[in-house]
């Protein structure tokens, strides 16, 4: 008889996305990457982070929420049940986690404190390291 993780679900590890990752790493405009790969959370997160830097909080919120939802779809497709580890250390998970972090920041800036707290709680549940890495 074999036993799984007795402490909870196994970590969810999203598959690598080589083409869109390479395009972003090569400096391509994240909007062009999103147009080609609309389910790629890392590009949505980059759009959100850029909008936050420019002070365009409403656009940041919209970009981040889209990246968050597209990431949730992928996590569920990878077996995630809405809880359990989504490790920051696994690079393909970072797009989703960054989108959640950007959503938290945007929500905080428009005084949507419930959403800010919910996003921070989700990140802590996924991987407390994400809170540190995202400086939340």
Q: What gap in Å lies between CA 6 and CA 60, rounded to an integer?
A: 39
Residue-wise pLDDT for 122-135, tens only, equals 999 999 999 999 99
User: What pLDDT sits at residue 3?
Assistant: 41
Closest Cα to residue 66, out of 112, 25, 22, 98?
A: 98
Distance, CA of 131 to chain centre:
12
**Given a cut of 70, is residue 28 above it in pLDDT?**
yes
Average pLDDT, stretch 9-29?
A: 97
Average pLDDT, stretch 112-116?
A: 98
User: What pLDDT sits at residue 7?
Assistant: 74
**Strand, helix or coil at 40?**
coil
Residue-wise pLDDT for 39-89, tens only, equals 999 999 999 999 999 999 999 999 999 999 999 999 999 999 999 999 999
Domain limits of the chain?
30-133
User: What pLDDT sits at residue 8?
Assistant: 83
Q: pTM higher than 0.75 for the full model?
A: yes
The CATH number that domain 30-133 falls under is 1.25.40
């Amino acid at each position: 008889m074999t036993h799984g993780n007795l402490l909870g679900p196994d970590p969810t590890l999203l598959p690598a996305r080589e083409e869109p990752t390479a395009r972003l790493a090569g400096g391509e405009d994240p909007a062009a990457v999103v147009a080609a790969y609309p389910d790629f959370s890392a590009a949505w997160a980059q759009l959100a982070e850029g909008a936050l830097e420019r002070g365009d909080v409403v656009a940041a919120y919209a970009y981040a929420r889209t990246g968050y939802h597209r990431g949730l779809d992928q996590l569920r497709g990878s077996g995630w049940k809405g809880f359990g580890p989504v490790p920051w250390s696994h690079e393909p998970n970072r797009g989703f986690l960054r989108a959640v972090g950007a959503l938290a920041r945007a929500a905080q800036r428009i005084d949507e404190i419930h959403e800010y707290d919910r996003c921070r709680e989700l990140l802590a549940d996924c991987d407390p390291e994400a809170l540190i890495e995202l400086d939340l």
